[in-house]
Amino acid sequence: MIRTLLIAAPALIMAACATAPAPAPIVAAERAFADDGYARGVKASFKAYAAPDAVMFAPERVYVHHFFGAQSDAPADPSRPHLVWWPLAAGISASGDLGFTTGPYAYDEDRRGYYFTVWQRQPDGEWKWVIDAGVEADAARAPGQEARSITCPLPHSAACHRIPPFRT
């Protein structure tokens, strides 16, 4: 089910994005989300960047605010590995209100797989994610955060754009 979603969702979004604007705001939101996750931990970051009705798979579908709301508010443990992720491809709808990011995720330096996040622009203009999913897969050969520029899988599509290098 999750693999089907991860395969079908990008194709559907890209098909709808033939005359799409640049996804720079989505990439910026994803990078801020990742930075916040590293700094404050998964629970605080996932709740802060999730839309009110956001879902993720853990491994079954859960509503993010209910899922994390049921967990204790223990401070992040710096001795545990950090969840880190970075976008390698992004797209945005022609209307500019829905988009996606995807790339590898790791626990510190141990790359574990790939994530896929669907983003929606909120009424106040802020971007929040509505679906977050990931699959375990060999991500050892994926470009790292230091990559100079990454070309999206569909280089001739207006839906996909180069993503500038990650800067801390």
Distance CA 79, CA 82 (A): 9
For the packed helices 42-49 and 24-40, what is the interaxial angle rounded to 10 degrees? 150
Please identify which residue in the block is written with the tokens 């009110």. Answer: 52
What structural domains does the chain harbor?
2-71+79-136 (3.10.450.50)
Mean pLDDT for 6-10 is 57
Residue 148: the pLDDT is 41
Higher pLDDT, 4 or 107: 107
Q: DSSP label at 150?
A: B
Residue 39: the pLDDT is 87
Query: Cβ distance 99 to 117 under 8 Å?
Result: no
Distance CA 52, CA 165 (A): 30
pLDDT in tens, 41-88: 889 999 999 999 999 998 899 999 999 988 877 666 777 888 899 999
Strand partners of residue 27: none
Q: DSSP label at 97?
A: S
28, two tokens? 């910026």
pLDDT in tens, 119-164: 999 999 999 999 999 998 988 888 887 764 343 443 444 444 555 5
Cis preceding linkage at 59, omega within 30 = yes
pLDDT in tens, 95-111: 999 999 999 999 888 89
